[in-house]
Amino acid sequence: MRVKRLPRTGGVLILAALALAGCGDPAPEAALPPIQVAVMTLAPSRADLTEDLPGRVAAVRIAEIRPQVSGIVQRRLFEQGAEIRAGAPLFQINPAPFKADADMAAAALQRAEAALARARIQTQRLEPLVQADAISRQTYDDAVSQRDQAAADVAQARATLARRKLDLKFATVDAPISGRIDQALITEGALVAPTDSNPMARIQQVDQVYVDVRQPASSLETVREALASSQAAKTSGLPVTVLRSNGTPYDVRGRILFSGINVDSGTGDVLLRVLVDNPKRDLLPGMFVRARVPRASYDDALMVPQQAVVRLGGKAKVWVVGEGDLAWSVPVELGELIDRRYRIQTGLVAGQRIVVEGLDRLLDGTAVAPRTWQPSKTAAR
């Protein structure tokens, strides 16, 4: 059997055709879908920078009840732990000795007044006689001197009576201030004196209390600036929130009165005194609380969530969604961190859309499918 050979030229044409068919353009690949991201639009808002500092509650006024006269305590006239008004009777000291002294002083005053009346009458009788030279001038001068001495005796007796009456009044020990009284430190039948080292009781004014907090001296300048601006605005002072141990605030209002002038050499702290209205008596002297002290306030701050800030090359950046829904990284300068949000000092402007979620796969110029970011309940708190 004989095989026919193809012409050489025909084989070349077939190879050329196959080569041309293999050199054709490849099929186009499918385009990647845009990345799903959550964005928020920047808007200026007010931001208050605060700091929580430990503090201790102290009474505005403390009065130690002490006797002003010596004697035996007959009765206690108050309920321990009650609210006391200024001038309310607290203890009754046996008044009998002081009443007797007052009666004696009253009798001495009557005797002195009678002597004065007699001396005046005597002087009046001698006056026309001395003018008529019926008696010597010495006799009249002696009568005038006795009259004046009798007047001095009356003044002395009157002062003695006033003192004895005051001692009788002091036999009832009154409250010098209004406030809450502690337990009685003495009982009926006890002998008390003004020189006693221990008081009879204590009264503490707690309708307003002080909260003394300590802060580093390095941060004192910001507090002074805030106090100065508050006084310039004619406000009632720099407001302070008092917190419980679990972080919830008390239903009270406080304001900073002043800062201490001495720095603790051991800790480097200074004292801040906060005056707090305490109508419900929630705060008691000696309690440890936390005071939320303002540091700074910004009226038009641009705040971004903490998770929207990334660190690239040691610099803080934020992904911004621009025209055509393309994402671009923008370097920013960060300010304070307030409630898990950074204050942006420079780099962003109001109205820009920034990426909050889904930024881990972004590159400059990446197409994104933005949706509105909804903060979680934890972030909202």
The pLDDT score that the predictor gives to residue 29 is: 46
Distant-in-sequence, close-in-space partners of 265: CB < 8 Å, separation ≥ 6: none
SS (H, E, C) 210-247: EEEEEEEHHHHHHHHHHHHHHHHCCCCCCEEEEECCCC
The pLDDT score that the predictor gives to residue 355 is: 92
Looking at the DSSP bridge assignments, the partners of residue 172 are 92
The closest alpha carbon to 258, from 243, 271, 239, 276, belongs to 271
**3-class state of residue 61 by DSSP:** strand
The pLDDT score that the predictor gives to residue 381 is: 47
Contact 93, 73 (CB under 8 A): yes
The pLDDT score that the predictor gives to residue 149 is: 95
Model pLDDT for residues 49-97, shown as the tens digit of each residue: 788 889 999 999 999 999 999 999 999 999 999 999 999 999 999 999 9
Average pLDDT over residues 112-131: 92
CATH of 35-47+301-380, one of 1.10.8.60, 2.30.30.30, 3.40.605.10, 2.40.420.20: 2.40.420.20
Q: CATH 1.10.287.470: which residues of the chain?
A: 95-170
Contact 185, 198 (CB under 8 A): yes
The third-level CATH classification (topology) of the domain covering 67-92+171-198 is OB fold (Dihydrolipoamide Acetyltransferase, E2P) (2.40.50)
- State what percent of residues in the chain have pLDDT above 90: 51
Averaged pLDDT score across all residues of the chain: 84
Band of residue 218 on the pLDDT scale cut at 50, 70, 90: low
Residue 277 corresponds to which amino acid?
A: D
Q: Does the pLDDT value for residue 323 go beyond 60?
A: yes
Model pLDDT for residues 168-201, shown as the tens digit of each residue: 999 999 999 999 999 999 999 999 999 999 999 9
CA distance 334 to 309: 9
Q: Does domain 95-170 have CATH number 2.60.120.330?
A: no
